[in-house]
Amino acid sequence: MDAQTEAAYDGNTMAGPLSEVFAVEVTTAVGRCHGCGTSSQLATFRVYGPDPGFVGRCPGCESVLVRLVRTPDALWLDLSGMSGLRIPMAADAAAE
Amino acid sequence: MARAAVSGGLKLRRTWRRAVLVERRTETPSACTLVLEVPGWPGHLAGQHLDVRLTAPDGYQAARSYSLAAPPDGEQIEITVQGVPDGEVSSYLVGDARPGDSVEVRGPVGGWFVWKPEQNGPVLLVAGGSGVVPLMAMIRRRAMQTNSARISGASFRLIYSVRGPEDRIYDDELRRRAMEDRELEVTFVYTRAAPEGEPRPVGRISLDDLVSHGWPAEQEPTCYVCGPTGFVETVSDLLIFLGHDPTRIRTERFGPSGP
């Protein structure tokens, strides 16, 4: 699928699969695009999917930021399009 | 922090749970609401969604994401499903699922497209087609708040774009709530066929609709826009053009086709 095709979904739709592996709600995290430097919430990524997997692209430049494929015995997660993730944490998280 | 107030906790990793269909209600010719009983359901915020997974006899599985349509009622939750042509999951849920049937659900999930009663300020809701579902959850959640606390909640305005009158989901309830509640305004925008007496010509949502029935940007409303991708892009662009701060515009996209 090329970036010219309109993404049918956004990062909100990846919240379920991501909740299998992340201990916190991660669609509110802000990812920085390795390509153009745009920072955006995962929820706002342009997402293609859900089958056979999800591809999330940068709202700024359409670079691929995340790929996620769930197979019966594994979850494949490629975050190489991002140079960082800022994950909001409750202020008391360190104490728990 | 408010984040810690999510019932069930955002720290819980989500696993699949068995859910039993207890009731189904027809909303439109192509959409229905399913009431599910989910033992151990941890509660949810308005705007959150869940994933539904079906397993075929041969082991093949398909999962799709659906918005929760109402605040939780104990362990009972509601989703409203719009049938889509060849939809692997929706065609079963809309067409075949009967009370007593069970599916697997995972949720609640999502933390971006949510409204919390403690949020201050006016709210603009803009729905395209079945994008009204998570927005209805917000309207119902707000109504609970105003009823129980006897305080005036945030003022809501809903602009709801549909193809024609028969496509209005929650039609009666929206009209009733708008009549009863001075702080809730509901406006329908018809894109292809309007009911008799509708003064607005049919057509896609426009700047005029948002100016006439939304909030001025100076009032700093939080804007929630949900619908097909093209609809969401159009409305977001119009809101930004009108001076709304992009950081107060929250969007959820599903599906490529416009209403």
Indicate if the pLDDT at residue B13 is higher than 80: no
Lowest mean pLDDT among B8-12, B130-134, B249-253: B8-12
* Residue A89 pLDDT grade (very low, low, confident, very high; cuts 50, 70, 90): confident
- Determine, yes or no, domain membership for A96: no
ipTM of the complex: 0.87
d(CA B53, CA B47) in angstroms, rounded, equals: 20
The structure's pTM equals 0.92
Indicate if the pLDDT at residue B257 is higher than 60: no
- Determine, yes or no, domain membership for A1: no
pLDDT mean over B207-235:
97
Q: H helices within chain A, ranges in order?
A: 15-19
Looking at the structure, tell me whether residues B26 and B72 fall in a common domain: yes
Q: Which amino acid is at B81?
A: V
Residues on chain A touching B3 (C-beta within 8 angstroms):
25, 88, 90
d(CA B233, CA B226) in angstroms, rounded, equals: 10
Looking at the structure, tell me whether residues B64 and B139 fall in a common domain: no
pLDDT at B93: 95
CA nearest to A16 within chain B: B109
- Host domain of residue B169: 123-253
Looking at the structure, tell me whether residues B98 and B167 fall in a common domain: no
Looking at the structure, tell me whether residues B96 and B130 fall in a common domain: no
The phi, psi pair for B130, rounded to 5°, reads: -75, 5
Say if CB A53 and CB A76 are below 8 A apart.
yes
Looking at the structure, tell me whether residues B163 and B225 fall in a common domain: yes
Nearest-CA distance B185 → chain A (Å): 27
Looking at the structure, tell me whether residues B29 and B66 fall in a common domain: yes
Beta bridge partners of A37: none
- Determine, yes or no, domain membership for A2: no
pLDDT at A4: 55
Q: Which of A14, A18, A19, A54 to mutate to test the interface with B (most CBs of B within 10 A)?
A: A19
Question: How many Cβ contacts (< 8 angstroms) between chains A and B?
Answer: 86
Q: How many domains does chain A have?
A: 1
- Host domain of residue A67: 9-88
Alpha carbon of residue B95 to chain centroid: 21
- Determine, yes or no, domain membership for A15: yes
Residues on chain B touching A8 (C-beta within 8 angstroms):
229, 253-256
Q: Which amino acid is at B204?
A: R
- Determine, yes or no, domain membership for B207: yes
Looking at the structure, tell me whether residues B226 and B134 fall in a common domain: yes
Residues on chain B touching A25 (C-beta within 8 angstroms):
3, 10, 109-111
d(CA B91, CA B220) in angstroms, rounded, equals: 40
